[in-house]
């Protein structure tokens, strides 16, 4: 899981640097890629690749996107914030269809102080004991996000 947060920090830092260095006119970058502006600031009607609030592919702040980091928002694939929703969600109050890690969480599997769903671990859990499933999931994620090959992997 540590590698996941390292990759997330790199993604957020890259998005912030690109947003700060890209010129914008009326909140949107004049530069576009595949018909969408590269950067958008604030609530805009046009989705963009990197949104500093609003809607886009990667959203930093309050908004909706594929990946969302902010106070509250919806990330179709991943969301992280105080109030978050997505396939995978981290937050104070979160809904994660596949996985959730939250103080108050709802999802198929997850960890939380109060977790409601399929398989979970938590102080107050309204779900089946998910300890074995989540340990297996953690090992699989470590293998997928590994920076180097495992010692027992055959050399390419």
Instruction: Quote the CA–CA distance of 56 and 101 in Å, as a whole number.
Output: 24
The pLDDT tens digits for 12-37 are 898 888 888 888 888 788 888 888 88
Return the domain boundaries, the chain.
Answer: 1-70, 72-148
Beta-carbon contacts of residue 13 (< 8 Å; ≥ 6 apart)? none
Res 79: pLDDT: 93
Query: Band of the pLDDT at 59, cuts 50, 70, 90?
Result: very high
Query: Band of the pLDDT at 152, cuts 50, 70, 90?
Result: low
What are the C-alpha distances in Å from 82 to residues 64, 99, 108, 128, 134? Answer: 14, 16, 20, 25, 23
């Amino acid at each position: 899981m540590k590698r996941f947060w390292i990759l997330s920090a790199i993604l957020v830092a890259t998005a912030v640097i690109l947003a700060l260095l890209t010129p914008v006119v009326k909140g949107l970058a004049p530069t576009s890629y595949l018909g969408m502006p590269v950067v958008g600031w604030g609530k805009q009607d046009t989705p963009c690749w990197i949104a500093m609030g609003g809607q886009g592919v990667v959203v930093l702040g309050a908004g909706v996107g594929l990946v969302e980091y902010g106070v509250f928002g919806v990330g179709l694939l991943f969301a992280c914030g105080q109030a978050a929703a997505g396939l995978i969600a981290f937050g104070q109050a979160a809904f994660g269809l596949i996985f959730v890690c939250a103080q108050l969480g709802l999802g198929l599997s997850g960890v939380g102080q109060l977790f409601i769903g399929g398989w979970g671990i938590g102080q107050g859990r309204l779900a089946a004991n998910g300890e074995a499933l989540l340990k297996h999931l953690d090992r699989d994620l470590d293998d997928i996000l590994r920076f180097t090959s495992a010692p027992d992997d055959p050399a390419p």
